[in-house]
Structure 1
Amino acid sequence: MKRVLYFYPDNPVAKNSGNRTWAMRLLKYFKNRGVSVDFVSLSDWAHDWDTASVDWLLDNKLATNVHILFRKPPKKNIANYLISYKLPFLLKNRDGVLPDLVGNRLKHQFNAILKQRQYDYIIISYAHWAHLLKNNPLVGKAKTIIDTHDFLTSLFQNHKRFKLGASFEEEIKRLRLFNEIWTTSTDEQYIFSQFCKGSDVRLITTNLDRNHLQEKPISQRQYDIIYVASDNPHNKRSIKWFFDQVYPLLPQNLRICIIGRITAFVNDYPNVVKVPFVQDLSEYYTDTKIVICPMLSGTGIKIKVVEAFSYALPVVGTTRALDGLANKTHNGCLISDDPETFAKYIKLLLSDERKYK
């Protein structure tokens, strides 16, 4: 049996963002192929780990062992907190380059896991955490894999004192530490493969649990529009743009459903239903006509778009909705960055059955 050490900083059991959904599907992939996974995460990163989540992973045999580590020392001893964590972190990340989130405390805990057994594969999520394996002799003969999730240089560009060249160079240096580089985006695969010649840059397709068939007639579906999103900064900008500039151009009798943590940033409207969390999105996808993806920024493939395709639902989106897709045209999406055209596409799909199909 192959043994994998899989580091992912968030709680995938929550499934309230695209990246968490991706991590959960990866765990299910390993389980279905008889791979033993030691799962490593952070208690003080997502702040939503609890005993129930750990037990759920173990009970469902998605992980053989679960290790929840701490990135920061407790603040009870403020002197130790400042000297051992805060000051080194600020000094290391003061120059506007891609942040390095690996401190001595975290690396010590991670190394303690590596000392317990040898692994066939070690997977690290995000280049932020790449230095967990930098010059680390405890890796042994394991094949090392970085699951990039996103092009972090692009995500980091709005930070103060951002330095494009230095950040991109740093990200590439971190990726080159690994035998394999995983990305779900064809765009990012192209970029990384140009600069990481010594590593195998792989495009990992977004796998879904099953194929979905729309059985309910279009006319009987409860919602005209659905939008699923977490509350990251990109989604906040996107939903603001939609309600500020597109929503006023739409008929006020349209039934709109917003799902996910993004609902906390949506005002109350008479024709808008807000659902902060659902365990299974299928009941909503099968009861809607259109999915929107009004992204203005961000990187990587949009899980919400792929999910819409799996339910045979058309997508109205902005240019960023196509990120990561190999086929940018004739793919089930109507695309515009102009609010009036975006609204026109929604109205067209809802009024023209031939165009919808």
Structure 2
Amino acid sequence: MAKILFFYPNNPLVVNQGNNARAHALLHYFNSRGFTVDFVGIESNEFTDKHREEIQNSELVRDAYLLPKRKNSGLNYLIRTSIVNKINKYPREFQWIYHNQEVYFTKILAKNTYDYVVISYVHAFPLIKNKQALKNAVTIVDTHDFFTSQYGTVDTPHLGNLFTTEMRLLAKFDHIWAISVEEQFVFSQFLPNKSILTIPHGIQDRSQQRLPETSIDLFYVASDNPHNVESAHWFFKEVHPLLPENINITVVGKIQEQIGSYPNVTKIAYAENLDDFYRKSKVTLCPMLSGTGLKIKVVESLAFGIPVVCNERGVDGLSSKVNNGCLVTDDPKEFASYIIQLLDSDEFYNTHKRYAHEFFNATLEASIVFKKLDQFFNPS
């Protein structure tokens, strides 16, 4: 069976945000196929040795390691990190891994022999710079996103350098896993000779877990990244005033800090398990004015058979933009109208609930996604 070294910087056991859920799902896939997996994260105030031990004691991995915190000063940093980045002309947005972390990762490689090294995020390329330490392991980057579009717009002075850097770093991996069809298209246009596979976020169908009676009208979960903050402000300024006052909304995640006080809004800073909220929610909100990549919250909603009301960016990454359980508009009045129709009309609601269920099981259910991974690891 394959031996895999899997790098993901954060704690994959905390599945209350999309990127963690993605890493957690991949670990479950590896485990289901009997692969031997060693996990590597990055030490932080939120990811400590205690958490590393929890991962190591789980059934998902053989060993778990934490790279030390980044060192931002000293002669080693100047020579090994700062000067190297300047020579390579890497923009600061891609200066993510420090020399002391490269050294630690190389020591892990030296102790073991792996068939595959899977690196989450293109920024972490320096971890695989030492080709000798890899011992011919196949390198894979799980991109999670198209980061040039996250970091820059047409008005960004160094936009060209952002894009060029991202393509150059992607090209250094043997294989590229894109989370969305849009990203696969972009990468393939500029890296025509690379192996690029679309691997969406796959989870099991959870529609049977829905409670017969829902107590949450609208469910909204998000972190407080700039894209979410802008979108949340838009929703509560432009859409919320158009909704009937008796509609209740539950907001979970750090985004709640960006939302004012409303009589019909319940704000929860942290929830260890989002499934409890999905089970009792009727409609999911995904206001998203900018950003790229597959929205994990949309996948999770569809897995429960819950219709989603979102902006056009909310359906990024989905293989079909229509009849998929998502009602899409950038117009505040139409956004509010979709919500009201879903809550007031059983026929309208059940139609989009059926679309969600059918689309999810045809494209995003774990067995579908895992089959793609099976074909990658066993092409014969």
Length-normalised TM-score, structure 1: 0.91
The residue number in structure 1 matching 2:102 is 107
Uncovered stretches (5+) of structure 2, i.e. residues with no partner? 351-380
Structure 2 residue 53 is matched with structure 1 residue 40? no
Displacement of 1:210: 4.4
Structure 2 residue 136 is matched with structure 1 residue 138? no
Q: Is the 8 A contact 1:292 1:317 kept in 2?
A: yes
Look up the SS of the partner of 2:219 in the other structure: strand
The residue number in structure 2 matching 1:244 is 237
Structure 2 residue 220 is matched with structure 1 residue 227? yes
Are the structure 2 counterparts of residues 134 and 17 from structure 1 closer, same or farther at C-alpha, using a change threshold of 3 Å? Answer: same
Identity of aligned residues (%): 38
Are the structure 2 counterparts of residues 55 and 96 from structure 1 closer, same or farther at C-alpha, using a change threshold of 3 Å? Answer: closer
Which whole-Å CA distance do the structure 1 matches of 2:180 and 2:114 have between them? 27
Which whole-Å CA distance do the structure 2 matches of 1:334 and 1:117 have between them? 49
Which of the residues 135, 142, 147 maps onto 1:152? 147
Structure 2 residue 15 is matched with structure 1 residue 22? no
The residue number in structure 1 matching 2:285 is 292
Which of the residues 336, 348, 358 maps onto 1:355? 348
Q: Is the 8 A contact 2:210 2:280 kept in 1?
A: no
The residue number in structure 1 matching 2:368 is none
Q: Is the 8 A contact 1:97 1:167 kept in 2?
A: no
The residue number in structure 2 matching 1:211 is 206
Which whole-Å CA distance do the structure 2 matches of 1:128 and 1:332 have between them? 33
Are the structure 2 counterparts of residues 83 and 170 from structure 1 closer, same or farther at C-alpha, using a change threshold of 3 Å? Answer: closer
Worse-superposed segment, 344-353 or 152-161: 152-161
Return the letter of the residue paired with 2:110.
K
Which whole-Å CA distance do the structure 2 matches of 1:215 and 1:67 have between them? 37
Return the letter of the residue paired with 2:245.
Q
The residue number in structure 1 matching 2:376 is none
Which of the residues 240, 244, 247 maps onto 1:254? 247
Displacement of 1:59: 1.7
The residue number in structure 1 matching 2:259 is 266
Which whole-Å CA distance do the structure 1 matches of 2:127 and 2:225 have between them? 25
Which of the residues 65, 68, 77 maps onto 1:67? 65
Structure (1 or 2) with the greater helix fraction = 2
Displacement of 1:86: 7.9
Are the structure 2 counterparts of residues 344 and 85 from structure 1 closer, same or farther at C-alpha, using a change threshold of 3 Å? Answer: farther
Which whole-Å CA distance do the structure 1 matches of 2:157 and 2:321 have between them? 30
The residue number in structure 1 matching 2:13 is 13
Worse-superposed segment, 133-142 or 21-30: 133-142
Are the structure 2 counterparts of residues 174 and 302 from structure 1 closer, same or farther at C-alpha, using a change threshold of 3 Å? Answer: same
Which whole-Å CA distance do the structure 2 matches of 1:6 and 1:82 have between them? 25
Are the structure 2 counterparts of residues 100 and 50 from structure 1 closer, same or farther at C-alpha, using a change threshold of 3 Å? Answer: closer
Worse-superposed segment, 207-216 or 182-191: 207-216
Aligned residues: 350
Which whole-Å CA distance do the structure 2 matches of 1:302 and 1:289 have between them? 19
Displacement of 1:315: 0.6
Structure 2 residue 305 is matched with structure 1 residue 312? yes
Displacement of 1:222: 0.7
Displacement of 1:51: 3.3
Look up the SS of the partner of 2:208 in the other structure: coil
Coordinate RMSD, CA, aligned: 2.3
Are the structure 2 counterparts of residues 207 and 191 from structure 1 closer, same or farther at C-alpha, using a change threshold of 3 Å? Answer: same
The residue number in structure 1 matching 2:31 is 31
Which whole-Å CA distance do the structure 1 matches of 2:198 and 2:281 have between them? 31
Which whole-Å CA distance do the structure 1 matches of 2:55 and 2:205 have between them? 20
